[in-house]
């Protein structure tokens, strides 16, 4: 079995996630599969690019309990995670509406982000 250099494997992984996100993001952004006030589902998180300053969005799976969402990843090199660490002010798209939130990151074997939603306007 052939092996790929780690930079090639990383590039393929990044491109794979980008392609998947391009398909999934619009549906999740519109509210498809979003969690109810208690439960699990997909949401879109909007961060600010730590280098570019531009808005960045990524669909993720989350658990929700009222106005608190929790997301996690084992990928410590996720750009959305690094963007949140640089600026904890984020937005979450739920049921087609943008909700602002404050994020708290806990690093470990499983990197966890807790999102505290601001009251709905």
List of residues 6+ apart from 10 with CB closer than 8 A = 77
| Helices within the chain (DSSP H only) | 6-30, 79-86
| Residue range of the domain that includes 84 | 6-117
Q: What is the pLDDT of residue 64?
A: 97
Residue 86 scores a pLDDT above 60: yes
Its pTM stands at 0.80
Q: What is the pLDDT of residues 5-44, one digit of tens each?
A: 556 667 777 787 777 777 888 888 888 889 999 999 999 9
> Is 112 a member of any domain?
yes
For 89-105, write each residue's pLDDT tens digit: 999 999 999 999 999 99
Q: What is the tally of structural domains in the chain?
A: 1
Give the CATH number of the domain where residue 51 resides: 2.30.110.10
Q: Rounded to an integer, what distance in angstroms lies between the CA atom of residue 101 and that of residue 59? A: 15
42 assigned to some structural domain: yes
Token pair for 27: 């549906």
Share of residues in the chain with pLDDT > 90 (%)? 64
Residue 1 forms part of a structural domain: no
């Amino acid at each position: 079995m052939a092996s790929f250099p780690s930079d090639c494997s990383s590039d393929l992984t990044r491109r794979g996630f980008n392609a998947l996100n391009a398909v999934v993001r619009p549906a999740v952004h519109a509210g498809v599969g979003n969690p109810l006030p208690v439960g699990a589902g997909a949401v879109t998180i909007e961060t600010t690019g730590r280098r570019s300053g531009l808005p960045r969005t990524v669909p993720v799976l989350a658990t929700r309990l009222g106005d608190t969402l929790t997301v996690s990843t084992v990928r410590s090199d996720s750009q959305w995670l690094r963007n949140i660490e640089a600026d904890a002010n984020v937005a979450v798209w739920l049921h087609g509406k943008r909700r602002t939130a404050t994020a708290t990151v806990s690093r470990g074997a499983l990197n966890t982000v807790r999102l505290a939603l601001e009251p709905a306007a």
